[in-house]
Amino acid sequence: MNNFTLGIIFATASLSVNTTTAMAQVSAADSVMNHAKGNKLSVGGYGEAAYSRNFYSDNGNRYTTPSLYKKDPSHGRFDIPHAVIYLGYDFGKGWTMGTEIEFEHGGSGSAIEYEADEAIEFEHETEKGGEVELEQFWLQKSFSKAFNIKAGHIVVPFGLTNAHHEPLNFFTVYRPEGENTILPCTWHQTGISFWGRTGDFRYEAQMIAGLDAYHFSRANWIQGGTSSPFEFEVANKYGFLARVDNYTIPGLRIGVSTYAGQAMHNNVPHDSEKGEKKKIKGNVYLGSL
């Protein structure tokens, strides 16, 4: 398949802060506070606008019976993959807060509500016209450059793209399709993180809510595992992440990350902890270099 893609990146802007450029040696998880520059309040953001022209059929059956659609005309589309607003505040004495609000694509969003008063009914309602996500919302205590504790809604830096997902950190218009197809991207969940930098190394360890195996698929592997149709994040089971990056060679970043957790029994209603079903663990082990 052939396609042509043109993208425009609106550079990071900031209020009461100098404009900054994403650097290869900075993790995206730290990007909110990278705008602070010693100021108490940090406000910034970035956005992307893209145009694609795909020279293949847009019919959903093009793979099932390709001969019927190989002469279909090309099709184009405009998209705003991400428009992001940063808000951060430095309270002093090592206490900082960071938030990142992300607007994606402009599609429609929906939610499922659990109505206990209506015979335990699941209601599917369209609640908003655009897709808006709170990608980061955390409070951090920094004891030193080598040891920080962050708690709240945080980026899970598994793999290359999640750790460095901002548009200045990859060469293509859209995020690399490999990790973007089979992993949650951007992967963000609620939990606690321990991280720091010492010498040429940066490390991070996290405890977060486990994935949900009922949202795994053959086509996208564990990509949907972080999604929740509810107005809360189910946390019957937990996941653990560890990551180490090395920056010894100028301009070269070497990173290793691993994830382990259980993905079964992490849904609603939590009624599979009985009988033989209780023995199904659904362990997930991931590694990336």
What does the pLDDT look like over 117-170, one tens digit per residue?
455 555 555 554 457 788 899 999 999 999 999 999 999 999 888 888 888 887
With a cut of 70, say whether residue 108 has pLDDT above it.
no
Domains of the chain by residue range? 3-288
- Tell me how far CA of residue 147 lies from CA of 140, 150, 203, 245, in angstroms: 11, 10, 9, 15
With a cut of 70, say whether residue 10 has pLDDT above it.
no
The residue count for the chain: 289
pLDDT of residue 62: 79
Angle at 53 between CA 175 and CA 49, to 5 degrees: 50
Sort residue 211 into left (φ over 0), alpha (ψ -120 to 50) or beta.
beta
pLDDT of residue 26: 57
Q: Binning pLDDT at 50, 70 and 90, where does residue 23 land?
A: very low
pTM comes to 0.77
Tell me the range of 7-11, 47-51, 244-248 where mean pLDDT is highest. Answer: 244-248
Dist. CA 75–CA 20, nearest whole Å: 36
Which ranges of 126-206 does DSSP label H, i.e. alpha helix? 159-163, 177-182
pLDDT of residue 12: 46
> What pLDDT, in 10s, does the model give residues 212-255?
888 888 888 888 888 777 778 888 889 999 999 999 999 889 99
pLDDT of residue 151: 96
Q: What is the dihedral of CA 16, 19, 24, 28, to 10 degrees?
A: 40
> Tokens at residue 84, please?
């992001």
State residue 109 phi and psi, 5-degree precision.
-120, 155
Q: Which residue in the block uniquely carries the two structure tokens 């956005």?
A: 47
With a cut of 60, say whether residue 264 has pLDDT above it.
yes
Q: What is the dihedral of CA 77, 185, 88, 38, to 10 degrees?
A: -100
Dist. CA 81–CA 102, nearest whole Å: 10
- For residue 159, give the nearest of 13, 4, 289 by alpha carbon: 289
Fold of 3-288: Porin (2.40.160)
pLDDT of residue 19: 35
Give the chain's mean pLDDT: 79
Of the candidate ranges 35-39, 72-76, 236-240, the one whose mean pLDDT is the lowest: 35-39
- The 10 Å CB-count burial string (b at 16+, else e) for 229-258 is beeebbebbebebebebebeeeeebebebe
